[in-house]
Structure 1
Amino acid sequence: MSVEPHDLRGRPVVVGSGVAGLMTALLLAPEPVVLLSRAWLGDFSSSILAQGGLAASLDADDSPDLHHADTLAAGDGLCDETAVRRVVEAAPLAVEKLARFGVAFDRSPNGTLRLGLEAAHSRRRIVHAAGDATGRELVRALTAAVRATPSITMLEGWEARRLLVEDGAIAGLLAAGPAGAAVLSASRVVLATGGVGGLFPDTTNPLGSCGQGLALAARAGAVLADPEFVQFHPTALVLAAGGSLPLVSEAVRGEGALLIDENGDRFLAATPGRELAPRDVVARGVWRHRAAGHRTFLDARQSLGASFATRFPTIDRLCREAGIDPATRPIPVRPAVHYHMGGIAVDAEGRSSVSGLWACGEVARTGLHGANRLASNSLIEAVVSAAWVAESVAAAAPDPAVRTRPFPATLPPAPDASLVRSCAAQALGIERDGETLHEAIATLAPLATGGGPASDPAVVLLMMAVAALRREESRGAHYRADFPLQAEKATPSLLTLDDALAAAETLSDTAMPFARSA
């Protein structure tokens, strides 16, 4: 059905069509809701690429208490313990809810859910679907459910460019649609736009996932929390060129695959936890070994061998397309940007600091992940948080006076991260230092205020770099070569775009002020 934007007044708008956005829209039913997606549903999202599963304490020898303890340990002092408790206790029922929406989870011959093991988990608690294609199966089932829900109006091929704010509250959004610019009136907006991987040259995310939700929120005045914490996955498949790299799931290491170099040496053998240490530890170990001149591989020949293709069909296909048979040859791997632990600061209901704006999924910072996400906690967070966000949005009555005056429908340019990716890689990589961060801030600030295609990506990276420069310690996924020790107290980073621009002006060697207006 074709719907004109002015017919949608009063309805909440959900921006993003990954697991978080789809679930939020579904759980708002029967209230009419608008789901805005820049691609056709099911065609574009980081969720689709998720090979890992959903972490939930479902086995007899497991419990939410153990899941809670593992999450806190991985988060390295920055988790919100209350948020962690809420998620891990809600996780088992969330898996059941997904099954009712039609997700076909992997099961043992006796019909019970098959549970996998991943790094830093003390028990087998990872629920998979379609082997190593969990994200694709979730998106498939939830997309079918959305299309079958009459209360959901889908705007496919639409991209949000700016949030519109009146008197400190959300009044709508400016979007690029098939016919050009359009203003959607709304006093309730949910951002479910994913992460920041596309800001970096090597990532397991789609290159289009370049932090646009963070830029939208920041320009609307929202507070971001812990934006400096970026998780690098240790085992992306090495390809000749950079860009979006295929992921070799942590579940492969959970089944016994080993990290080796060109000499066959197991270079993490002396590291506590070895291949199943927390991701930041493994990623730094691989990065440093490669920086020392070695090549790095994941060897599944002994642990999986001929069963590799059955257990991990997607990875097997990707490897074979690259000319590698993982049953007989080690898989060449290297770290790549995978997940953003920071994001829009939200409360227990997903509310941001801006009235009428919620966030859900990777774009939100709920306090679950802390300084380093525990494997497979992100999909389950998206599912359980969607329920809380939907309940909160439904309880917030629409503002009948919203959009009392027309907004200009002049579209900012589509974001293009190509001009800032090298800066991101140099300053915000696995190991960082103050001098490089200082240089990056000086480069990014003029771009952030320039209004060009690189402006929104530069806004996000500027806020990440300022937070990273201020954090003079090493914690979780944030490692400062010039501050290698951990501070005694774990303190979250909280900042607005104005904060970041003020910091850039203070650090600047020139007297030229940076404009505050967005």
Structure 2
Amino acid sequence: MNCRQADIIIIGSGLAGLMVAEMLSPHKNVIVITKSSMKHSNSMMAQGGIAAAVDRDDNWSDHFFDTVVAGGFHNVEEVTKKLVKKGPILIDKLIELGVPFDKNEHGDFALGQEGAHGRRRILHSGGDATGKALVECLLKRVLKKVSIIEYEMAIDLILDDNGNCIGVNTRNTEGISFCNYANHTILATGGVGQLYPITSNDESVNGDGMAMAYRSGAELTDLEFIQFHPTMLAKDGMAYGLVSEAVRGEGAKLITGTGQRLMDDVHELKELAPRDIVAREIHRALERNEQLFLDITSIQDFETHFPTITSLCKSSSVDLVKGLIPIAPGAHFIMGGVCTDQYGQTTVPRLYAVGEVAHTGVHGANRLASNSLLEAIVFANEVAQNIMSKLDRPLFKKAIKVQKHRLNFELPTIEEIQHMMMTNVGIIRSQESLEKAVDWFSRYKDIVDHNHLLELKIEEKIICNMLTIGYLIATSALLRTESRGGHYRSDYPVTKPDQWYKKQIIRSLNRTEIKRADQECEQRKEGIVS
């Protein structure tokens, strides 16, 4: 088998992986391995911006409260504080790296409004193409100093006899296999969106990193919490792409085919209610066979502000003159993932996870809009700093002598997995539907546990990974007997945190911290700090 060796191997070329590569590359030999093109990732497709308390009237404590309220009070508090406190610092870092954030006519950041945020704090670059701008900026820098290997899929992690991760086995599209050894291996493989038939995710994102981590013995958690974006452009049963929440932030309304407002009597924030609430209401309306549209007639210069969405509408023959975009919910983001500490370390030594594949605890049960790109850069920095603080121990390569067996039965198709997930582990779930899903996935439990012992083609390995994560999501959802955030069960009421718990959250921000945050806000207003 062909072998490579580096100080750091990063699996995935989205924002989180590239940010780690940028920070480590001046000091370490870094290889980035990606399953498809280096420009294929959820980050590249992100229309929404990046949330941070950079405005003179904003502060991190307000951002913290918005985050934990949207998260159903399920967030890990200390790590969430780190996210919102370090956000403005990492925004400055991106500016230093060359990211051109959009400005208004006064030269200030053109901050957008999105659901569940108490104020405008969303930065954009290139209008509704923020993710593309961030990724292209980092790629331009990273390509000069890092080896990026495209069209090569990570198959399984390599562990030594002491349980340390010492690299990853990969296979390219020509069927050639490689052993990649490293002192530190970083998963940056994204989420699980392709487990569902309608999704905002790139076609390469189907849970590979989480499945590999599971097989290596890493701990995973909160997989039942899956966020469905309320507004995918959907027409004639086909999904064409995401319509950013920023469109609703600028005044677009959700209406039925008869022109009735959908959210008027549902939530006080109407279209800007938390995503899980909006997605469920749209789902219910579609089940009643109603047509749903985003009415954009109130937005001036729509084509200028939202060029990506404009192009999407034109390519799917949606007439923007009418001002109505047909929509349906789609799988968007998973709040759970591979458990990490606040520095990205998983429960497997020398294995790190960053970005959507990781569970840092900052999103709780439902991610606040535009906190995902923020998480990527903040914890990429934490991972890089943590690795730089460690002394690299000698790397003892392990000979790979696993007897592979042929697959002796037929696997389900990707479409069958997607149908099972959407029908039974979708936006609204129940004990009956979840038991049906668990029973179906259990037929393949031997594949879930032992597919690393099988001789599989890349297409078969992808299906095995999807079976693994589908099984884990379904069992996790069955075990959580409550409705909270992105996990909604029709047989259990929505869990509302009692007043005692809310007070505990508030007390976690002690008076000194709040006073300091308010002082920083006042200083920004006076121009004392940038």
Relative to the length of structure 1, the TM-score reads 0.89
Note if 1:347 corresponds to 2:347. Answer: no
Give the structure 2 partner of residue 117 of structure 1: 113
Q: 1:246 aligns to what SS in structure 2?
A: strand
Give the structure 2 partner of residue 94 of structure 1: 90
Give the structure 1 partner of residue 470 of structure 2: 461
CA spacing shift, 1:236–1:318, aligned 2, 3 Å: same
* 1:274 CA displacement: 0.4
Give the structure 1 partner of residue 250 of structure 2: 255
Q: Which residue identity is paired with 1:461?
A: G
CA spacing shift, 1:353–1:113, aligned 2, 3 Å: same
Give the structure 2 partner of residue 224 of structure 1: 220
CA spacing shift, 1:185–1:27, aligned 2, 3 Å: same
* 1:416 CA displacement: 6.8
Q: Which residue identity is paired with 2:8?
A: P
Note if 1:170 corresponds to 2:137. Answer: no
Question: What is the CA–CA distance in structure 2 between the aligned matches of 1:367 and 1:64, rounded to whole Å?
Answer: 17
Alignment coverage as a number of residue pairs: 480
Q: 2:127 aligns to what SS in structure 1?
A: coil
Question: What is the CA–CA distance in structure 1 between the aligned matches of 2:75 and 2:412, rounded to whole Å?
Answer: 31
Give the structure 1 partner of residue 480 of structure 2: 471
Q: 1:206 aligns to what SS in structure 2?
A: coil
450-459 vs 387-396, which moves further: 450-459
Unaligned 5+ runs, structure 2: 502-530
* 1:409 CA displacement: 9.4
* 1:186 CA displacement: 2.2
Q: 1:482 aligns with which of 482, 491, 502?
A: 491
Question: What is the CA–CA distance in structure 2 between the aligned matches of 1:428 and 1:326, rounded to whole Å?
Answer: 34
* 1:53 CA displacement: 0.4
Unaligned 5+ runs, structure 1: 491-518
Q: 2:262 aligns with which of 255, 262, 267?
A: 267
Note if 1:369 corresponds to 2:370. Answer: no
Q: Contact 1:195–1:211 (CA<8 Å) still a contact in 2?
A: yes
Note if 1:18 corresponds to 2:27. Answer: no
Q: Which residue identity is paired with 2:362?
A: L
Q: Contact 1:231–1:373 (CA<8 Å) still a contact in 2?
A: yes
Question: What is the CA–CA distance in structure 2 between the aligned matches of 1:189 and 1:415, rounded to whole Å?
Answer: 31
Q: 1:12 aligns to what SS in structure 2?
A: strand
RMSD over aligned Cα atoms: 2.1
Give the structure 2 partner of residue 496 of structure 1: none
Q: Contact 1:12–1:393 (CA<8 Å) still a contact in 2?
A: no
Q: Contact 1:181–1:411 (CA<8 Å) still a contact in 2?
A: no
What are the equivalent positions in structure 2 for 1:83-482 lying under 5 Å apart?
Answer: 83-148=79-144, 150=145, 152-166=146-160, 167-177=162-172, 180-242=176-238, 245-271=240-266, 272-301=268-297, 303-305=298-300, 307-408=301-402, 417-450=414-447, 451=451, 453=460, 454-482=463-491
Q: Which residue identity is paired with 2:309?
A: I
Percent of counterpart pairs with the same letter?
A: 38
Note if 1:63 corresponds to 2:59. Answer: yes
CA spacing shift, 1:423–1:484, aligned 2, 3 Å: same
Q: Contact 2:12–2:187 (CA<8 Å) still a contact in 1?
A: yes
Question: What is the CA–CA distance in structure 2 between the aligned matches of 1:162 and 1:241, rounded to whole Å?
Answer: 36
CA spacing shift, 1:262–1:47, aligned 2, 3 Å: same
Question: What is the CA–CA distance in structure 2 between the aligned matches of 1:38 and 1:415, rounded to whole Å?
Answer: 22
329-338 vs 452-461, which moves further: 452-461
Question: What is the CA–CA distance in structure 1 between the aligned matches of 2:442 and 2:136, rounded to whole Å?
Answer: 40
Give the structure 1 partner of residue 508 of structure 2: none
Q: 2:13 aligns to what SS in structure 1?
A: coil
* 1:432 CA displacement: 0.2
Q: 1:69 aligns to what SS in structure 2?
A: helix
Relative to the length of structure 2, the TM-score reads 0.87
Q: 1:344 aligns to what SS in structure 2?
A: strand
* 1:208 CA displacement: 2.0
Question: What is the CA–CA distance in structure 2 between the aligned matches of 1:104 and 1:410, rounded to whole Å?
Answer: 50
What are the equivalent positions in structure 2 for 1:25-64 lying under 5 Å apart?
Answer: 25-30=21-26, 31-42=28-39, 44-64=40-60
CA displacement 1:200-231 (0-9 Å, x = unmatched) = 11101122210111001001011111000000
Q: Contact 2:425–2:437 (CA<8 Å) still a contact in 1?
A: no
Question: What is the CA–CA distance in structure 2 between the aligned matches of 1:173 and 1:98, rounded to whole Å?
Answer: 30
Question: What is the CA–CA distance in structure 2 between the aligned matches of 1:53 and 1:409, rounded to whole Å?
Answer: 48
Q: Contact 1:237–1:247 (CA<8 Å) still a contact in 2?
A: yes
Q: Contact 1:175–1:411 (CA<8 Å) still a contact in 2?
A: no
Q: Contact 2:4–2:181 (CA<8 Å) still a contact in 1?
A: no
CA spacing shift, 1:252–1:311, aligned 2, 3 Å: same
416-425 vs 69-78, which moves further: 416-425
Question: What is the CA–CA distance in structure 1 between the aligned matches of 2:48 and 2:445, rounded to whole Å?
Answer: 34
Q: Contact 2:35–2:204 (CA<8 Å) still a contact in 1?
A: no
Q: Contact 2:15–2:376 (CA<8 Å) still a contact in 1?
A: yes
* 1:408 CA displacement: 4.5
CA spacing shift, 1:412–1:324, aligned 2, 3 Å: farther
Q: 1:120 aligns to what SS in structure 2?
A: coil
Q: 1:202 aligns to what SS in structure 2?
A: coil
Question: What is the CA–CA distance in structure 2 between the aligned matches of 1:56 and 1:319, rounded to whole Å?
Answer: 29
Question: What is the CA–CA distance in structure 1 between the aligned matches of 2:139 and 2:8, rounded to whole Å?
Answer: 19
CA spacing shift, 1:444–1:8, aligned 2, 3 Å: same
Q: Contact 1:59–1:125 (CA<8 Å) still a contact in 2?
A: yes
Give the structure 1 partner of residue 5 of structure 2: 8
